[in-house]
Amino acid sequence: MKIIVTLPHYDPATQYISNWAKNVVDFAINRGIDVINLVGDKANRKDFEGRVDKVKPRIVFLNGYGDDDCVLGQDNLILVKKGDNHTVLQGKITYALACSSGAELGPEVAKNNDSAYIGYDDEFCFAGNSKYLSHPIDDPRAKPFMESSNQIMCSLLKGNNCQEACEKSRKIFKEYINRLSSSAADPDSLQDAQLLWWDMKHQVCLGNKRSSIKD
Partner 1 sequence: MAETLNQEKLLSDEDIRRLVVARLKVLSPDTIISFGSDGSFSRDELVEKVQQKDEIGEKMAEIQMEWLRSFNEELV
Residues that bind partner 1 (CB under 8 A): 11-13, 16, 65-67, 72, 76, 98-100, 123-131, 133, 141, 174, 177-178, 187-188, 190-191, 193-195, 197-198, 201
Of 136 and 207, which has the nearer Cβ to partner 1?
136
CB of 195 to partner 1, least distance (A): 7
DSSP assignments along 47-89, one per residue: HHHHHHHHH--SEEEEES-EETTEEE-GGG-EEEETTTTGGGG
Nearest to 99 by CA among 129, 63, 132, 134: 63
CB of 124 to partner 1, least distance (A): 6
CB of 80 to partner 1, least distance (A): 15
Instruction: State how beta strands 59-63 and 93-97 pair.
Output: parallel
Of 114 and 188, which has the nearer Cβ to partner 1?
188
Of 57 and 66, which has the nearer Cβ to partner 1?
66
Q: Residue 188 and residue 169: Cα distance in Å, rounded?
A: 22
Q: Residue 177 and residue 37: Cα distance in Å, rounded?
A: 31
Of 28 and 72, which has the nearer Cβ to partner 1?
72
